[in-house]
Amino acid sequence: MFALTEKNRSIAQLLLNTGTCPRCVFRFCCVGLQASYRHPYKRIRLENMEEGAEDLNQNGALQQIPVTDDANVAMEISTPKVCNVCLGILQEFCEIDFVKKVSDLFLKQGLSLAKEDIVQLKETYKWIIHPLFSEELGVPADGKSLFEVSVVFAHPETDEDCHFLATVCPDCFKPAKNKQSVFTRMAIIKALEKIKEEDFRKHFPYPPSSPKNICAALEIQCTNGAIFVAGRYNKYSRNLPQTPWIIDGERKLESSVEELISEHLMTAFKADSFNFSSSGREDVDVRTLGSGRPFAIELVNPHRIHFTAMEMKELQQKINNSSDKIKVRDLQLVTREAIGHMKEGEEEKTKTYSALIWTDKAIQKEDIAVLDDMEELKIDQKTPLRVLHRRPLAVRSRVIHTMKSEYIDDHHFRLHLKTQAGTYIKEFVHGDFGRTKPNIGFLLKRTADILELDVESVDVDWPPTLND
């Protein structure tokens, strides 16, 4: 039984007085027990624990709690008027008459309703236990909810019962690296479909014998569905990796973009762990300027999930105040589906950069002006030497959309470029032993080297910009 709280009493009172049906009143009072709604609507009463029965309103519901459909209460109800919120949907249209009408309609069409399959054990278990949990906790049980309760049942006595299938259908049971046991659910199903009835009967008693013991509930786990926080980050340090740089257990560089951002999120959301991903990434010695690079963090099993926009802003401020090496903006909660937008950006969208370039032979303004005129320059890049140990050897064609040079002195200039996603900028400048063609050195008929690189923009319009 569910009682209306003090807070809800005034809401309930207001609604009842203005022509709202009891079921809608429940909805506005966040009543999560589904059973409450199933009481016949004409008989629902709301009791006021402190004051006892009060006067009726025109809806015919008494202000009494707890909810009961006890017909023995003194006050009788007059015919309820049409609810001003649900317009009668939760009133007349929940009655048996309407149900009969609709059923007749599709039965006439000759649609078959019978389910031919044996009902699954898991499903039946859920049918029984969901309402029980609902009753116990006062919240609706949603099969598709992100809050998951998992129970593992074990029965050692019958664990080996299925092993005979491996001798009869050996090809269904192939050991694989990650599998603990070769007897997986899928493998067993396959074998059962394959095996002939006679062979099955030879190995297994039919009907199955009675177990001596009941199975045991081995593991009970509750996890909250993962929460996704997205934003854009700027990186101002030339000495900060995106992810922790650890070789043979030894950390090579202090901290990382990922840790600086997720540290505070983990604390705020009280999550068990996180997964960081971003729309591309930059080298340790490259800064990310402009509006920053989109990122998303999956917080696994968060213990706190409700955050207002204001609280997110405060969290953003906290992260920004904690380090001068990075800055985040547009911090917000997003859905899992939204992550797809970010990854799409990684492959398809353009990026702009600013590079500080050195040349061996002296240059004049005219020498570098040739670069400004080049549009949609096609280059071929073999996998750079510096990543060749962990990438396949291949040639990638990329496009440098535009370039704009800025003369500094006779051996230095700054180059702004807008390129296709996936272009290795450093190699485009120094040529990587001629393995990126053409390259800046080649275009200027000199030898060039890159002294500094900054990402000016990552042209992905996700996540949505927030007005700070």
Partner 1 sequence: MAAAPGVTERYFTRWYKPDVKGNLCEDHCILQHSNRICVITLAEAHPLLQNGKTIKSINYQISANCSRLQNKVSGKSKRGAQFLTELAPLCRISCSDGEEYTIYSCIRGRLMEVNENILDNPTILQEKVRIFAYIEFFLIFIPALYHGLIF
Any idea which residues carry the catalytic annotation?
Answer: 283
Nearer to partner 1, 151 or 370 (CB): 370
Instruction: Name the residue type at position 261.
Output: I
Shortest distance in whole angstroms from residue 337 CB to partner 1? 30
In whole angstroms, give the CA distance from residue 68 to residue 39. Answer: 8
Is residue 360 a contact point for partner 1 (CB under 8 A)?
yes
Cα three-residue angle 220-222-228, rounded to 5 degrees: 150
In whole angstroms, give the CA distance from residue 452 to residue 249. Answer: 30
Is residue 45 a contact point for partner 1 (CB under 8 A)?
no
Nearer to partner 1, 253 or 451 (CB): 451
- Strands annotated E in 44-173: 45-47, 64-68, 148-154
Which residue of 433, 461, 464, 465 would you call a contact of partner 1, by CB under 8 A? Answer: 433
Shortest distance in whole angstroms from residue 29 CB to partner 1? 59
Q: Each residue of 156-194: b (16+ CB within 10 Å) or e?
A: eeeeeeeebbbeebeebbeeeeeeeeebeeebbebbeee
The angle, 0 to 180 degrees and rounded to 10, between the axes of the packed helices 309-322 and 257-269 is 140
Which residue of 304, 391, 404, 411 would you call a contact of partner 1, by CB under 8 A? Answer: 391
Shortest distance in whole angstroms from residue 346 CB to partner 1? 19
# chain residues binding partner 1, by CB under 8 A:
24
Look at phi and psi of residue 249 and say left if phi exceeds 0, alpha if psi is from -120 to 50, else beta. Answer: left
Which residue of 123, 207, 389, 467 would you call a contact of partner 1, by CB under 8 A? Answer: 389
**CA torsion, points 361, 362, 365, 368, in degrees to nearest 10?**
10
Is residue 381 a contact point for partner 1 (CB under 8 A)?
no
Shortest distance in whole angstroms from residue 382 CB to partner 1? 8
Largest distance between two CA atoms of the chain: 104
In whole angstroms, give the CA distance from residue 236 to residue 292. Answer: 10
The stretch among 105-113, 157-165, 317-325, 435-443 that binds partner 1 (CB under 8 A) is 435-443
Beta bridge partners of 329: 232
Q: Count Cβ atoms below 10 Å from residue 11 Cβ, excluding itself.
A: 16
Listed as own residue / partner, the contacts of 99-104 with beta carbons closer than 8 Å and 24 or more positions apart are none
Which residue of 393, 409, 467, 468 would you call a contact of partner 1, by CB under 8 A? Answer: 393
Is residue 428 a contact point for partner 1 (CB under 8 A)?
no
Is residue 449 a contact point for partner 1 (CB under 8 A)?
yes
The stretch among 17-25, 108-116, 430-438, 453-461 that binds partner 1 (CB under 8 A) is 430-438
Pairing of strands 326-334, 436-437: unpaired
Question: Tokens 């006890």 identify what position?
Answer: 70
In whole angstroms, give the CA distance from residue 280 to residue 277. Answer: 8
Is residue 219 a contact point for partner 1 (CB under 8 A)?
no
Which residues, 46 to 65, sit near partner 1 by CB under 8 A?
none
Nearer to partner 1, 199 or 449 (CB): 449
Contact 406, 414 (CB under 8 A): yes
Site string for partner 1, 309-348 (x = CB under 8 A): ----------------------------------------
Beta bridge partners of 351: 419, 458
Nearer to partner 1, 171 or 250 (CB): 250
The stretch among 16-24, 295-303, 410-418, 432-440 that binds partner 1 (CB under 8 A) is 432-440
Shortest distance in whole angstroms from residue 403 CB to partner 1? 19
Is residue 392 a contact point for partner 1 (CB under 8 A)?
yes
Is residue 245 a contact point for partner 1 (CB under 8 A)?
no
Which residue of 345, 432, 457, 463 would you call a contact of partner 1, by CB under 8 A? Answer: 432
Query: CB burial class (10 A; 0-12, 13-18, 19+) of residue 461?
Result: exposed
CA 442 to chain centre: 46
Shortest distance in whole angstroms from residue 442 CB to partner 1? 6
The stretch among 123-131, 266-274, 294-302, 426-434 that binds partner 1 (CB under 8 A) is 426-434
Shortest distance in whole angstroms from residue 445 CB to partner 1? 11
Which residue of 29, 286, 448, 453 would you call a contact of partner 1, by CB under 8 A? Answer: 448
Is residue 382 a contact point for partner 1 (CB under 8 A)?
yes
- The residue ranges that bind partner 1 (CB under 8 A) are 358, 360, 382, 385-393, 430-434, 439, 441-442, 447-449, 451
